[in-house]
Chain A
Amino acid sequence: MGRIVLKDVTKAFGEVTVIPPLNLTIEDGEFTVFVGPSGCGKSTLLRLIAGLEDVTSGRIEIDGVEATAAPPSKRGLAMVFQSYALYPHMTVRKNIAFPLRMAGMDKAEQDRRVAQAASVLNLTDYLDRRPGQLSGGQRQRVAIGRAIVREPSAFLFDEPLSNLDAALRVGMRLEISELHTRLKTTMVYVTHDQVEAMTMADKIVVLRAGHIEQVGAPLDLYRAPRNLFVAGFIGSPRMNFIAGAEAAKHNAHTIGIRPEHIAVSADAGEWSGVVGVSEHLGSDTFFHVHQTGLADVITVRADGEVGFRHGDRIHLTPRADVIHRFEETGLRIA
């Protein structure tokens, strides 16, 4: 149930190839996140899986069944759109029941499933309202409810949290993760936010220009990024990249060290520089250090409240065991 395989899938819009031949397997029950910068093809890939776009070449298999030419309604998938795409002229109840109605289910069974989905998502009180009368978070839940009732082999999410404000986003992230734990259904989730990716995914697929840069569990990508792009994309704030003489010391063209892996001191350290902007969040403190001779800026994260200010001299010591080494092509040196 819910195993999706893409074999040599390509997608071109006219002359422009958006996705060069791509191979990917999504196992049953996995929460897979497609992540990458704008225009990397993650939404296109999702739509290819959904059947809303045709592949230019290649094959898609869903549960071992050839699905490349199947229309969206016959693939057994459900999709939650970025804009929720609720039917504005129908009540919440009718919205959620719509797929069941299309499947020709009898009314009693429809009502049962709608009630069930509504209780799971805390929508029971809103069943007779219209989407226009709901808040963003509620509409989101209706969209998810409409997907759940179909009992699909897999859920597809297209940047579902982008339209919500920050506080709501955190809450919904948890709800969706909990949903996954409860339903155990495959979920394919598209986002540009790497925090969502890291916190929700069983498996992350990092995409750039239609190309899969790396596939792996979140911490695997954090600990062992395959190339400069993945190293710079995963982790916030971004990894520091240092080329030149310092990198040569480690037998690499470029080295990378994450801001959270650099210790600070007022007196002594391997590197030294002058503090530029300092960001004091209370829980963490971030320093953007200049004049180190290594790179324009080195970003450093320190735990708790640390008192360096603009213009102070600061000494930095990177943790030797987590220095990432990259060769000239950008690939990781093991």
Chain B
Amino acid sequence: MARTVTTTRKSVNTILAWSIGLLIFFPILWTVLTSFKTEAQAVSDPPVWFFFDWTLDNYRTVLDRSDYSRFLWNSIFIAGGSTVLGLIIAVPAAWSMAFVPSNRTKDILLWMLSTKMLPAVGVIYPIYLIFIKMGLLDTRTGLVVILMLINLPIIIWMLYTYFKEIPGEILEAARMDGAGLRAEITYVLLPMALPGIASTALLNLILAWNEAFWTLNLTAAKAAPLTAFIASYSSPEGLFYAKLSAASTMAIAPILILGWFSQKQLVRGLTFGAVK
């Protein structure tokens, strides 16, 4: 619609949208601000907004708590590891369904998606037992495997949609040019699908980082990631809002930034293509 929009209308929209946006964003903003306050300022009534003595003490305290870096590293390892493992299994699977489809391909795809709907609470005890038996309880490896399994359907699905956008003829040309399967995937498919693979990895990193059922129940001191670390602040001792804010800000900052880049992927990955 190439009609001129009145400035009034644009201003009204802008004011309305920004107000609502800031309102929704406020809790995050407040958390970040509070992380730089002293504990007394954090709970003061009336609340302090911007003009206070900004301090990094809270960050220092949280980081000095000897385990923080371990929780951080666990989050990175678990999110990254499950993503990489998932991609290794998903790329061949998505290749096969996108380029050599059979009559059952659609059913298999739907079935895979449906496994994501499995309520975790329905299988927590068997998994718990299996983990104990295999020595995987409270290990990063165990969590990498579980998170990979719950997100595999989405990884495969997203790669499938990206692969389908690549013209099959180009891969056939590679075959005619003498490329075997491995060469076809390495030299032709992967370079062309790189943006799609990156997007998929991004979304998966976010989902794995924020996962808060398995990470809470299958870990204890050794393998707990940031989700569990923050949860431990739920039984507070004394004033602690500023420190909670600092810990929270550090836990969510990377994902907020990554999330900014991944809006389109979110729609593609989590609505299973039903919304374009």
A and B touch in the complex (CB under 8 A): yes
| CB of B230 closer than 8 Å to a CB of A | no
Instruction: Knowing A87-B188, A102-B183 are in contact, say whether A72-B169 is a contact too (CB < 8 A).
Output: no
Q: Which of B170, B172, B178 contacts A99 (CB 8 A)?
A: B178
Q: Which residues of B contact A81 (CB under 8 A)?
A: 169, 172-173
Q: Are the C-beta atoms of A73 and B191 separated by less than 8 Å? A: no
When distances are taken between beta carbons in the complex, the residues of chain B under 8 Å from A87 are 170, 173-174, 188, 192
A79 and B191 CA atoms in complex are apart in Å by 22
User: Which residues of A40-97 have CB atoms within 8 Å of chain B's CB atoms?
Assistant: 50, 52, 71-73, 77-79, 81-83, 85-89
CB distance from B177 to the nearest CB of A (A): 4
A102 x B178 contact (CB < 8 A): yes
Check A77–B176 contact: CB distance below 8 A. yes
Q: How far is the CA of A72 from the CA of B180 in the complex (A)?
A: 10
Report the minimal beta-carbon distance from B185 to chain A, rounded to whole angstroms.
13
> Residue B177 contacts which of A71, A83, A88, A99 (CB distance < 8 angstroms)?
A99
Interchain CA distance A85-B174 in the complex, whole Å: 9
State whether A98 touches B175 (Cβ < 8 A): no
- A94-111 residues at the B interface, CB under 8 angstroms: 98-99, 102-103
Q: How far is the CA of A287 from the CA of B180 in the complex (A)?
A: 57
- CB-CB under 8 A from A258, the residues of chain B are none
- Within 8 Å CB of A325, what residues of B? none
When distances are taken between beta carbons in the complex, the residues of chain B under 8 Å from A71 are: 175
Cβ-based interface call for A324 (8 A): no
Closest B residue to A14 by CB, please name it.
B103
Would A78 and B179 count as touching, CB distance under 8 A?
Answer: no
Give the chain B neighbours of A146 by CB distance below 8 A: 173, 177
Q: Which residues of B contact A52 (CB under 8 A)?
A: 172, 175-176
Whether B167 sits at the interface, judged by CB under 8 Å, is yes
Question: In the bound complex, do residue B167 and residue A83 qualify as a contact, i.e. CB atoms below 8 Å apart?
Answer: yes
Closest-by-CB residue of B relative to A73 is B178
Neighbouring B residues of A99 by C-beta, 8 Å: 177-178
Residue of A nearest to B180 (CB): A73
Considering the complex, give the chain A residue whose CB is closest to the CB of B170.
A85
Write the nearest CB–CB distance from A151 to chain B, whole angstroms.
Answer: 12
Residue A280 interfacial (CB < 8 Å): no
Q: How far is the CA of A98 from the CA of B173 in the complex (A)?
A: 10
Q: Is the CB of B177 within 8 A of A98?
A: yes
A150 pairs with B169, CB closer than 8 A: no
Name which residue of chain A comes closest to B171, CB basis.
A85
Within 8 A of A (CB), among B79-137: none
Contact B176–A72 (Cβ < 8 Å): yes
Instruction: Compute how far the CA of A81 lies from the CA of B179 in the bound complex, rounded to whole angstroms.
Output: 16
- For residue B170, which residues in chain A have a CB less than 8 angstroms away from its CB? 85-88
Contacts of B174 in A (CB 8 A): 87, 98
B residues in contact with A83, CB < 8 Å: 167, 169
Known: A83-B167, A83-B169. A88 touches B192 (CB 8 A): yes
The CA of A196 and the CA of B188, in the complex, are separated in Å by 33
Query: Chain B contacts of A77 at CB under 8 A?
Result: 176
Q: How far is the CA of A83 from the CA of B166 in the complex (A)?
A: 13
User: Are A73 and B176 in contact, CB atoms less than 8 angstroms apart?
Assistant: yes
A79 touches B173 (CB 8 A): yes
Q: Which residues of B lie under 8 Å from residue A79 when comparing CB positions?
A: 172-173, 176
A72 to B172, CA, bound (A): 9
Contact in complex: B191, A89 (CB < 8 Å) = yes
Distance of B171 from chain A, by nearest CB (Å): 8
B 155-173 to A, binary, CB cutoff 8 A, 1 in contact else 0: 0000000000001011011
Task: For A102, list chain B residues within 8 Å (CB).
Answer: 177-179, 183
**Taking CB as reference atom, which chain B residue is nearest A78?**
B176
CA distance A62 to B191 in the complex (A): 34
Instruction: Tell me the minimal C-beta distance from A140 to chain B in angstroms.
Output: 13
Does A85 lie within 8 Å of B169, measured CB to CB? Answer: yes
Let me know if B178 and A103 touch, CB within 8 A. yes
A→B interface (CB under 8 Å): 50, 52, 71-73, 77-79, 81-83, 85-89, 98-99, 102-103, 146, 150
A-B contact pairs, 10 of them (CB 8 A): A73-B180, A81-B172, A81-B173, A82-B169, A86-B170, A87-B192, A98-B179, A102-B178, A150-B177, A150-B178
The 10 A-B pairs at the shortest CB distance, nearest first, are namely A102-B178, A99-B177, A85-B173, A85-B169, A73-B178, A89-B191, A79-B176, A72-B175, A85-B170, A81-B169
Given contacts A86-B170, A102-B178, 10 further A-B pairs with CB under 8 A are A73-B176, A73-B179, A78-B176, A81-B173, A87-B173, A87-B188, A88-B192, A89-B191, A98-B177, A103-B178
